Chains A and B, each alone.
Chain A
Amino acid sequence: MEHYFDVLSVLILLSSFVLVSNKRIHAYIKTFRLQSALIALTAGVMGFEDVVNDGNYDVLVVCAIIIALKVILIPRLLHRTYGNIEYRVEKDFFFNIPILVIICCGLVVFSYFSVSNIGALSGLHINLQVVNSFSVVLIGFFFMISRKKALGQIIGYLVIENGIFVTAMFSTQGMPFIVDVGIFIDLITAVLIMGIMVIRINDQFESIDVNKLKNLKG
């Protein structure tokens, strides 16, 4: 079973690389949906194992919530938000894509060296999975600062959240169920609020370029 998880964790990491090399906002949203589907698959496999071994349905329920929220609802919301925005100047990043990808490779190496130093995570398999999922968190952070558009920042936040969720799955077999549910409630509210704000920012600033938010300084 561990091999499946290894493969899945590598695929999740790859999907975040794909995200970094996407150019258009619609493509980000699609990649995010793909990544969430992979995470749902991971949770599904784990949940299935749990049911077979201990008869515990919690992880399977979490998997269902992920499919409903992250695969269906949130991407749809983001598409709709983007549809409401009139100004569509597309170029959205500070560096070239190859440079972004190379920096992300550096992040993976960094997380490899830092995670392998943690004693409690020793044991080759767990280590690889946690390295991959932790890299997803770091890439999410990097994605946020590498894009200019407000929507890009929302996606970055969602990727960080995805990475954290996978880290929790791989290192501790998931957070307690009630905490997971709380996190999902917060997540959907956060996306709703950020979506509304993006539309308002677009109304006021006639753009969703966050570099134009420069009135408050010092």
Chain B
Amino acid sequence: MGLILWITPGIAVLLSRIVNNTKGLHAISVCASFVLLLTAGFATNRVILYDTLAYKLFGEAFFIDALSIIVLDIIILIGFLVAVYSVGYLNEECRHEKISQKKIKFYYSMMYVFMLSMIFAVTVKNIGIMWVAIEATTLASAFLVGFSNDKRALEAAWKYVIICSVGIATALVGIIFLHLASIDVVSSSNALQWDLLFDRAENLNSPVLRLSFIFILIGFGTKAGLAPMHTWLPDAHSQAPSPISALLSGVLLNSAMYAVLRILAIVNRNLGDSSFTGRLMIAFGLLSICAAAVFILTQRDYKRLLAYSSIEHMGIIALAFGLFTPLSIFAGLFHMINHSFTKSMLFLASGNLLQKYGTREISGIRGLLKTLPVSGTAFLLGLFAISGTPPFSIFASEVNVFLSLFYEKHYVLGGVFILLLAFIFGGIAVTLFRIFYGEPARGAAIGCGEINRPGAAVLAALLVIILATGLWMPDLLKGLITSAQMIMIGGLSI
């Protein structure tokens, strides 16, 4: 049953190569993502009941536990919402004759290759295969980033492919060292299986493992958008079509971070405490937040601004996992979920803005609440949410992160953290809030009302999600996060 997760995107890719009319393509995409959604529900249920979902097929390659199900559910839920949103988005692009039907075909087939590679990355047990899948995500999304095929998009796509491929190659060096560290512990037929490595973590060779962690953090950190390896991220996120930006930011960054988390759990268990990994993760995390804070203030392009905000949030997540206390791990996982939903809502809303006004410049947009009532409201509330204002869910997880900083008596770190967050809130308010006021520019024929109706529905749904999880956390979610937290800690006494 769980294998449907692998098969469905594959079928969607094949069908979208064959089918030749626009409506059919939309239908395939929405159906496929709906099937994925159902299967993910089933898998979640199994994980809640039995802790893991694994099959003997293909040398026990398929493996899901609470940690992977969280990331998997994010991937599939956002994938579904993006598929629905894409219907309206692509129809609108088609109406303006910006893209042809052939491009829609291409878009959907690449999008499902992209989904498949991400699903693959979080459902395999072998760390080597996980690497292969994460590299495949770069390759699958490269043409999606360069979708509009103009100068800027090509430049972004080239930077994306080169920086991420090289970054990921660094992670491969790390995985080789991980293999080396485990060579006497795990038999060669089971090499790089995560569960075995984790069970026997105490016996791995510590110095080599430390080296391997550095390479892996740099490598997957590049893909997760941690500063100073983040340079591809603002370009790719701003140039990609908005639904793809939502996938990149909400989902792709998480799957790269997920790979780091898997290795982090092994290394911390081996070393017995988290001071080595903690210092690295906290340094990268803080640096990312700083970099984002500076760049957000100087942005003139709203999609780039959102991209920098993604760097900030990945920094917060890295910081939380660097601390590695039960509270901070909980906060980190919760923050992963919250950031995904909030940021994909913002990117989807920004897609509606872009289609309405035809500009990425902040100065080109005025009177947003009048012209786009739903997207404008979602964008405004989303901006409050992303900068950590109650009652939205990001506030809840950020509070947990700095509570855990203070519990661990990192007063200076906590102070700097809060200061930077305040600074970022200020930056977003100064640069972006002006788009909501004033009158739409005269002369330009900008009518009122939503263009992308399915998109507006998606935005409303996302708004409800982030508001609901901010006010009240379902026991199911809490249970899942707690068991993922248990997996990461894995008997370590902290």
A contacts, CB < 8 Å to B: 118-121, 137, 141, 144, 150, 153, 157, 160-161, 164, 167-168, 171-173, 175-176, 178-179, 182-183, 185-186, 189-190, 193-194, 197, 200-201, 204-205, 210, 213, 215-216, 218
B155 engages A216 (CB within 8 Å):
yes
Given contacts A178-B128, A179-B126, A179-B132, contact A190 B165 (CB under 8 A): yes
User: Restricting to B177-202, which residues have a CB under 8 Å from any CB of A?
Assistant: 177, 179-181, 183, 188-189, 191-192
With a cutoff of 8 Å between Cβ atoms, the chain A residues found around residue B192 in the complex are 175-176, 179
Given contacts A119-B208, A216-B235, contact A210 B158 (CB under 8 A): yes
A175 engages B176 (CB within 8 Å):
yes
The docked-state distance in angstroms from the alpha carbon of A179 to that of B169 is 14
The docked-state distance in angstroms from the alpha carbon of A213 to that of B157 is 11
Residue of B nearest to A204 (CB): B151
Q: How far is the CB of B279 from chain A (nearest CB, A)?
A: 19
Q: Which of B143, B172, B207 has the most CB of A within 10 A?
A: B172
The docked-state distance in angstroms from the alpha carbon of A213 to that of B159 is 9
With a cutoff of 8 Å between Cβ atoms, the chain B residues found around residue A210 in the complex are 158
A167 engages B132 (CB within 8 Å):
no
User: Restricting to B121-148, which residues have a CB under 8 Å from any CB of A?
Assistant: 126, 128-129, 131-132, 135-136, 139, 142-143, 146
With a cutoff of 8 Å between Cβ atoms, the chain A residues found around residue B177 in the complex are 171
The docked-state distance in angstroms from the alpha carbon of A146 to that of B211 is 27
**B256-277: contact bitstring with A at CB < 8 Å (1 yes, 0 no)?**
0000000000000000000000
The docked-state distance in angstroms from the alpha carbon of A119 to that of B59 is 33
Residue of B nearest to A203 (CB): B154
The docked-state distance in angstroms from the alpha carbon of A212 to that of B152 is 11
With a cutoff of 8 Å between Cβ atoms, the chain B residues found around residue A185 in the complex are 132
A183 engages B132 (CB within 8 Å):
yes
B176 engages A167 (CB within 8 Å):
yes
With a cutoff of 8 Å between Cβ atoms, the chain B residues found around residue A119 in the complex are 205, 207-208
A-B contact pairs, 24 of them (CB 8 A): A120-B180, A120-B205, A120-B208, A153-B162, A157-B166, A157-B169, A164-B172, A164-B173, A167-B173, A172-B179, A173-B188, A176-B189, A178-B128, A179-B128, A179-B129, A179-B192, A186-B136, A189-B136, A190-B135, A200-B149, A205-B154, A213-B155, A216-B159, A216-B238
With a cutoff of 8 Å between Cβ atoms, the chain A residues found around residue B234 in the complex are 216
B239 engages A216 (CB within 8 Å):
yes
B91 within 8 A of A: no
Count A-B pairs with CB separation below 8 Å.
Answer: 124
Residue of B nearest to A156 (CB): B166
B208 engages A175 (CB within 8 Å):
no
With a cutoff of 8 Å between Cβ atoms, the chain B residues found around residue A161 in the complex are 169
B295 within 8 A of A: yes
Q: How far is the CB of B385 from chain A (nearest CB, A)?
A: 25
A176 engages B207 (CB within 8 Å):
no
B74 within 8 A of A: no
Q: Which of B161, B162, B189 has the most CB of A within 10 A?
A: B162
B299 within 8 A of A: yes
Q: How far is the CB of A217 from chain B (nearest CB, A)?
A: 9
Q: How far is the CB of A17 from chain B (nearest CB, A)?
A: 20
Given contacts A120-B181, A179-B132, contact A164 B159 (CB under 8 A): no
B154 engages A200 (CB within 8 Å):
yes
B156 within 8 A of A: yes
A197 engages B239 (CB within 8 Å):
no
Which of these, B143, B146, B191, contacts A176 with CB under 8 Å? B191
Given contacts A190-B161, A215-B155, contact A178 B126 (CB under 8 A): yes
Known contacts A186-B139, A200-B146, A213-B155, then 6 further A-B pairs from the complex at CB < 8 Å, ordered by chain A residue: A171-B180, A176-B128, A183-B131, A193-B161, A197-B154, A205-B154
Given contacts A120-B207, A216-B235, contact A193 B142 (CB under 8 A): yes
The docked-state distance in angstroms from the alpha carbon of A173 to that of B173 is 14
Which of these, A173, A182, A193, contacts B128 with CB under 8 Å? A182
Q: Which 6 A-B pairs have the closest CB atoms?
A: A179-B128, A182-B132, A213-B155, A216-B235, A186-B135, A168-B176
Q: How far is the CB of A154 from chain B (nearest CB, A)?
A: 8
B126 engages A176 (CB within 8 Å):
yes
The docked-state distance in angstroms from the alpha carbon of A175 to that of B188 is 9
The docked-state distance in angstroms from the alpha carbon of A181 to that of B172 is 14
With a cutoff of 8 Å between Cβ atoms, the chain B residues found around residue A150 in the complex are 158
B172 engages A201 (CB within 8 Å):
no
Q: How far is the CB of A3 from chain B (nearest CB, A)?
A: 22
The docked-state distance in angstroms from the alpha carbon of A199 to that of B491 is 53
Q: How far is the CB of B183 from chain A (nearest CB, A)?
A: 6
Q: How far is the CB of A65 from chain B (nearest CB, A)?
A: 14
Q: How far is the CB of A20 from chain B (nearest CB, A)?
A: 17
B97 within 8 A of A: no
B162 engages A157 (CB within 8 Å):
yes
A178 engages B205 (CB within 8 Å):
no
Residue of B nearest to A189 (CB): B139
The docked-state distance in angstroms from the alpha carbon of A42 to that of B39 is 46
B475 within 8 A of A: no
With a cutoff of 8 Å between Cβ atoms, the chain B residues found around residue A200 in the complex are 146, 149, 154
Q: How far is the CB of A118 from chain B (nearest CB, A)?
A: 6
The docked-state distance in angstroms from the alpha carbon of A182 to that of B132 is 6
Which of these, B158, B172, B304, contacts A197 with CB under 8 Å? B158
**B201-238: contact bitstring with A at CB < 8 Å (1 yes, 0 no)?**
00001011001000000000000000000000011001
B151 engages A164 (CB within 8 Å):
no
A218 engages B126 (CB within 8 Å):
no
Which of these, B151, B162, B172, B183, contacts A183 with CB under 8 Å? B172
The docked-state distance in angstroms from the alpha carbon of A9 to that of B165 is 25
Residue of A nearest to B304 (CB): A218
Which of these, B151, B180, B208, contacts A215 with CB under 8 Å? B151
The docked-state distance in angstroms from the alpha carbon of A215 to that of B304 is 13
